[in-house]
Chains A and B, each alone.
Chain A
Amino acid sequence: AGGKMAAVKGLETCLRVAGAAAARPERFLSVQDGLSSDFRALTKTLYDLNKALGSNIVRGGPLKELVIENFDEEQIWQQLELQNNEVLDFFKKSIARDAKDEGLCLLSDQEENDSDAETSSDQEFEDNIMDAETEQKNTKDKTKAKEKQSKLKESIMQKCSDEDSDLDFDIEALEKSIVDDKFFKLAEMEAFLEHAEKENREEEDDINYFEDIISDDEEEESEGATVKVRISDMNEMMVENMRSKEASKKVTFSLPDDSETEDITDTQLEKGSDPSEIKSSFEKRQEKMSKKIKSLEDELLKEKPWQLKGEVTGQKRPENSLLEETVLFDHAVRMAPVITEETTFQLEDIIKQRILDEAWDDVVPKEKPKEDAFEYKKRITLDAEKSKLSLAEIYEQEYMKLHQQKTEEEENPEHKEIQEMMDSLFQKLDALCNFHFIPKPPVPEVKIVSNLPAVSMEEVAPVAVSDAALLAPEEIKEKNKAGDVKTDAEKTPTDKKRERRKKKLRKRMKLREKEKRQKLLEKMKPEQGTKLNKKAAAAALKRLTKEGKVSLLKDEGKDKVLKSSQAFFSQLQDQVKMQIKDASKLKKKQKKQTATSVHKLKL
């Protein structure tokens, strides 16, 4: 009795907790730690209760009590599973047995269900089905479960019986097929399908033209429809579920199959579209295509996403939406190479190889070859006379020259070698003999070019040719490094200053040279040196002025005459002219006077 009391109490607490939790389902939107611990405790009490009560008919799992301390959900679940598997097997067997039992009457306890509104019974129906689909919790006693199972069956049958009593579903319902699963009974499905077909047929036949179309009726009808919809939805879900499970077990069906099944249910749901005749595959395809087309058209008519809208500013698209987009754009400049370890290794390899090969890339200074005009003219001689040799002989000579050169080169190296060896030997001997070390004699770098006939040394150009025509301008005068030659008008002030500086420098150098030479001369030959000396010149000048042979004009700066020789001589000339004029005038005057006396004397 005590145990039973405890059991009853435990059950009451369980009910209470569960009811409280169910009362406010919105709490389950977030994690509820307190509730979860409550539920765990609940589970434990129920399990222990079940085990404590014991049963003669089914043994259950090996665990005597449920351990929940420091266990997570998986572990608790596995413990429950152990118990449930055992129990489930037993239940299955018992149900099968009971189903086969013809003595059982299935039509009892229907008034209760009838009285309820269809919707509520649907709810129950759904709940039952949900329960059946999920693992049975050990919270339900086996008897209760059994009851529920039978109720399930009954409710299904009830549905079918309410709407259509023609079907002999007893047999059908109790038939078992290979396809049958936990969730699916083939007989059920067939029954449902037949029923649905009948319904459609009935609808066609029973169009009541005289029926008043009132809103209430419509509501009712819609309700009924929704009910039907919901049931069929449920079935559909179940079917789909089963189908998906089947698909996962077997090879996946190709798409048309699924859509076909969907079509069947869809078309049977829709009232307006085609009647109950089974469609051909072509029609089905056509419908599918038209649906696709319609969906595509709708898409096109809808507003485009921001990606397809052309120029989109930041305000027109969602925040940070560009980050999710992969944007393509052209790079005008080649990207800089990424420097990785491999690239450095490659570079180092190249450098090492170059060092080994001694392939340095030093800059070689370019030298401009300077050719004398003379050399240039010597290269080709212009003979203006008919050649003495015939063409054949000319070519013959060329050929011989070519071949002779080769033999020359072969002989010379031997001579050279001998010469070199002798040189080194004598040098060493000299070094040994003499006490003073004589450095190596410089090797003459002058190379004597092959001998030309003496005639070619002279000018051989034709008579009428001038140098200007023969030589290029560069050969006549070296080009200025700067480039053009500038006239005085073109020169910039810097140019002028530069030139002035250069001129002064040149003059300075010349003066210094002169003085140096003078000094040297004085030292070496005193008499000659003093001749050109400045001091000597000044002394001579003084002497001459003293003697009176030379008069020294004082340069005050006012007299223009002394500034330039031109001025001086022009003045001199003028003076002399004046003198001559005066003299001539005088003469004329004298002549005139004598003329009058003669006239006077005339008698």
Chain B
Amino acid sequence: METEAAGDGGGFTGVVSKRSRRKRRAAAGTAMDTAEPRPSKRPAFPPVAAEALGVGKGEIRKVPVPANRYTPLKENWMKIYTPIVEHLQLQIRFNLKTRNVEIKTCQETKDLSALTKAADFVKAFILGFQVEDALALIRLDDLFLESFEVTDVKPLKGDHLSRAIGRIAGKGGKTKFTIENVTRTRIVLADAKIHILGSFQNIKMARTAICNLILGSPPSKVYGNIRAVASRAAERF
């Protein structure tokens, strides 16, 4: 909308658009600010400088590496290293004596949450996720990691436990992949431990599906259920 000049078109009173009025008021407000302190509702603090929080000093996060992930770490080191150092501006190293991956902030680090993200990323990889999947943790803010055990859902022992794990996995992993595809999550099935990576709602869906499988529903039924839930979720958006 453009402002019409007053007295436009012979006898018409010009209507001032709301946007310009707001701009004018804002301008007047800033002018007023310099003149006297405005009685504001909330105190206005300037953004904190990175140095003030002690980022520059160098916080360290340590992620332990179990023996079975040692080789995969070695193989994927460059893929892990690159995004952390180049995109997040952090320092990373693998301490051979303590078998920890150590991440440290330095002067170049601009973002404060970078350290947490990097730590989560490395942890996800160590748990068993693929590097590309774990990379989503860096790129998206609202992804989470959930872990639980099969015995948390139902106390199973011996053969029953094995059968439950087998149900979750399916033949050639197809049940697990189906759940992953429908709910848009990533699942790691490590013997009796289950790790899920994804957004909050999706984690809930996947968890429900896996719990149903543990409790004994046939996979076809579980497919039907997650399909229904996923379609409802998709409809909403």
Q: Which residues of A contact B (CB under 8 A)?
A: 379-380, 382-387, 390-396, 462, 464-466, 469-470
Contact = CB atoms under 8 A, between A and B. Distances in A.
A380 B230 contact: yes
A385 B174 contact: yes
Given A382-B181, A390-B130, A391-B184, A465 B220 contact: yes
B132 interface: yes
Given A382-B178, A384-B175, 8 more contacts: A384-B181, A386-B173, A387-B181, A391-B132, A391-B143, A395-B136, A465-B220, A465-B223
B224 interface: yes
Contact of B135 (A384, A385, A390): A390
A390 B132 contact: yes
A392 B138 CA distance: 9
A412 B171 CA distance: 47
Interface string B184-221: 11100000000001100000000000000000001111
Nearest to A376: B231
Prevailing SS type, chain A contact patch: loop
B136 A380 contact: no
A469 B220 contact: yes
Contacts of A462: 174, 178, 223
Given A379-B231, A380-B231, A470-B224, A387 B177 contact: yes
Nearest to B173: A386
Contact of B178 (A384, A394, A469): A384
Contacts, number: 71
Interface string B126-137: 000010110110
Interface residues of B, number: 32
B234 interface: yes
B110 to A, nearest CB: 22
B173 A391 contact: no
B140 A392 contact: yes
B182 interface: yes
16 contacts: A380-B231, A383-B177, A383-B181, A384-B181, A391-B132, A391-B133, A391-B185, A392-B133, A392-B135, A393-B132, A395-B136, A462-B174, A465-B220, A466-B220, A469-B224, A470-B220
A386 B174 CA distance: 8
B227 interface: yes
Nearest to A393: B132
A462 B170 CA distance: 12
A390 B182 contact: no
A393 B139 CA distance: 10
B120 to A, nearest CB: 14
A391 B224 contact: no
Contacts of A465: 220, 223
B180 interface: yes
B198 A385 contact: no
A384 B135 CA distance: 23
Contacts of B230: 380
A390 B184 CA distance: 10
Contacts of A380: 182, 227, 230-231, 234
A372 to B, nearest CB: 14
Interface in B148-162: none
Instruction: Name the 5 nearest CB pairs between A and B, nearest first.
Output: A390-B132, A392-B136, A384-B174, A469-B220, A391-B133
A156 B50 CA distance: 117
A392 to B, nearest CB: 4
Interface in B13-36: none
Nearest to B139: A392
Given A392-B136, A395-B140, A469-B220, A387 B231 contact: no
Given A380-B231, A382-B223, A391 B174 contact: no
A281 B130 CA distance: 105
A395 B142 CA distance: 11
B223 A391 contact: no
Contacts of B136: 390-392, 395
Contacts of B218: 469
Contacts of B231: 379-380
B177 A386 contact: yes
Given A380-B231, A380-B234, A392-B136, A385 B220 contact: no
Nearest to B181: A383
Nearest to B133: A391
A143 B46 CA distance: 115
A470 B227 CA distance: 10
A463 to B, nearest CB: 10
Contacts of A387: 177, 180-181
Contacts of B177: 383-387
Contacts of B130: 390
A470 B219 CA distance: 11
